[in-house]
Amino acid sequence: MVTTEQDTRLDVASNDDYALRIEGLKVYYGTPRGLVKAVDDVSFNLRPGERFALVGESGSGKSTLAMAIMRLTREPGHIAGGHIYLGDRDLVEMEEKQIRSIRLSEMALVPQGAMNSLNPVMRVGDQIIDGIMDHVPPGEGAPNRTELNTRIHDLLVRVGLDPTVARLHPHELSGGMKQRVAMAIAISLNPHIIVADEPTSALDVVVQRQIMQTLGRLQEGLDAAVLLVGHDMGLVAQFADTIGVMYAGKLVEVGTVPDVFKDPKHPYTKLLIQSLPSFDISRQFVGIPGMQPALLNLPPGCAFNPRCPSVHERCFREVPEYLNLDVGRGVACHLFDEEATN
């Protein structure tokens, strides 16, 4: 491996120092027309306190991956292979009962569209209690009512809400406030990994900025790692440290945010960055030609070959392997085969 000698630069002595390691994860959906490989052989690592963003078009498998990490994959989907290591424990092997004790206390989800994930007939405070009581680690005793009230007060203040919100029902809150409640639930047991699946997709820019900055503040307070799933490259540039680009179920490029934005390697990432609208009026505003292929019917070779401007003969024959270019920087594209072996 090329990476072993360079690993020291990042102060990572061994695999145990990663907060989360995903190795060769595969999530497939069984459908009447065949197996859909929504996530196909994806590997990446998350360091403690790192903000990793996973981007891709709808249907690229990014949400499926986030759900699989939380072990929330639903039928007809199943984890078909690979490992999710949290420290030295493999979540893929765990029983549902063990997973429940890890969710919220070690690993929490901020769901997409908080408006639909809160219970409409329960007061906000009771929903926070619900999460705490259900997931409190077995070692700690269940907190009593006074302790819970102090905790709710404290949580709501931390996410920037008025403590009286605890007495309200979800329909009395705005979209941004509901998203803040979802964040309060997510941090209620001080997790060290937060998975945020498009946390601001239905909110407007000012509220979006407030929510992302609150998430950043909470993450720093807990020193937790964040996995942000989204398609807004602008938000990624503002929030994340590292970025992973997904295309048709595969991770095609990984790198730090400045590296990927200044020097994108994969032709898809290049097009993705060019297609962003900007305030530079002189620049031509172009989309990516063609459509993402149906996962049931992928073209042979590289899945991006029908849309790729730098396509060559090899792309139709072989699926490109993920190549490590540097520590934490890699790409899956035949254009870099030689560079990586040198």
Partner 1 sequence: MSDFMRLEHVTRTFGGGALSTKPPIVAVDDVSLSINEDEPKITTIAGESGSGKTTLARLLMGTITPSFGSMYYRGKDFTKLSRKDSWNFKQEVQSIYQDPFGSYNPFYKVDHVLETPINRFKLATSRQAKNTMIEDALAMVGLQPGDTLGRFPHQLSGGQRQRVMVARALLIKPRLILADEPVSMVDASLRATILDSIRRLNREIGISVVYITHDLTTALQISDNILVMYRGSVVESGAVERVILEPKHPYTQLLIESIPQPDPDNKWGDEPPSARFEDFDTMFGCKFADRCPHVMEMCADEHPPQFHLEQHRQAQCYLYRDEADVMEDPDLATIFQDRRAELNV
Binding status of residue 234 toward partner 1 by CB under 8 A: yes
Task: Tell the smallest beta-carbon distance from residue 233 to partner 1 (Å).
Answer: 5
Nearer to partner 1, 86 or 272 (CB): 272
Which residue is associated with the tokens 């060290």?
Answer: 192
Task: Tell the smallest beta-carbon distance from residue 138 to partner 1 (Å).
Answer: 37
Per CB under 8 A, the list member of 143, 175, 299, 301 interacting with partner 1 is 175
287-to-81, 270, 277, 284 alpha-carbon distances in Å: 35, 12, 10, 10
Binding status of residue 287 toward partner 1 by CB under 8 A: yes
Task: Give the interface segment with partner 1, choosing from 6-14, 64-72, 283-291, 322-330 (CB under 8 A).
Answer: 283-291
For residues 176-209, b (16+ Cβ closer than 10 Å) or e, as one string? Answer: bbbbbbbbbbbbbbebbbbbbbbbbbbbeeebbe
Per CB under 8 A, the list member of 5, 286, 309, 313 interacting with partner 1 is 286
Selection from 89, 86, 92, 88 nearest residue 106 by Cα:
86
Per CB under 8 A, the list member of 188, 214, 242, 269 interacting with partner 1 is 214
First to last CA, the chain: 13
Q: Burial-class residue 54 by CB neighbours within 10 Å (0-12, 13-18, 19+).
A: buried
What length does the chain have?
Answer: 342
Task: Give the interface segment with partner 1, choosing from 7-15, 36-44, 79-87, 237-245 (CB under 8 A).
Answer: 237-245
Nearer to partner 1, 5 or 280 (CB): 280
325 in Cβ contact with 252 (< 8 Å): no
Selection from 299, 295, 198 nearest residue 248 by Cα:
295
Q: From the CB of residue 156, how many other CB atoms can be counted at a distance below 10 Å?
A: 21
For the chain, give the longest Cα–Cα distance: 69
Selection from 134, 142, 90, 82 nearest residue 108 by Cα:
134
Nearer to partner 1, 86 or 156 (CB): 156
Binding status of residue 24 toward partner 1 by CB under 8 A: no
Find the binding residues for partner 1 in span 297-326 (CB under 8 A).
none
Task: Give the interface segment with partner 1, choosing from 36-44, 183-191, 274-282, 325-333 (CB under 8 A).
Answer: 274-282
Task: Give the interface segment with partner 1, choosing from 118-126, 146-154, 255-263, 324-332 (CB under 8 A).
Answer: 255-263
98-to-7, 90, 106 alpha-carbon distances in Å: 32, 11, 12
Task: Tell the smallest beta-carbon distance from residue 326 to partner 1 (Å).
Answer: 18
Nearer to partner 1, 288 or 340 (CB): 288
Task: Give the interface segment with partner 1, choosing from 2-10, 35-43, 190-198, 228-236 (CB under 8 A).
Answer: 228-236
Q: Give the C-alpha separation, 327 to 342, whole Å.
A: 15
Contact letters (x/-) for partner 1, 131-160, by CB under 8 A?
-----------------------------x
Nearer to partner 1, 15 or 310 (CB): 310
Phi first, then psi: give them for residue 150, nearest 5 degrees.
-65, -40
333 in Cβ contact with 267 (< 8 Å): yes
Binding status of residue 233 toward partner 1 by CB under 8 A: yes
Task: Give the interface segment with partner 1, choosing from 108-116, 131-139, 257-265, 325-333 (CB under 8 A).
Answer: 257-265
Find the binding residues for partner 1 in span 37-76 (CB under 8 A).
57-58
Q: Give the C-alpha separation, 326 to 333, whole Å.
A: 15
Task: Catalog residues that contact partner 1 under the rule CB under 8 A.
Answer: 57-58, 160, 175, 203-210, 212-214, 217, 231-239, 257-258, 261, 271-273, 275-279, 281, 285-288, 291
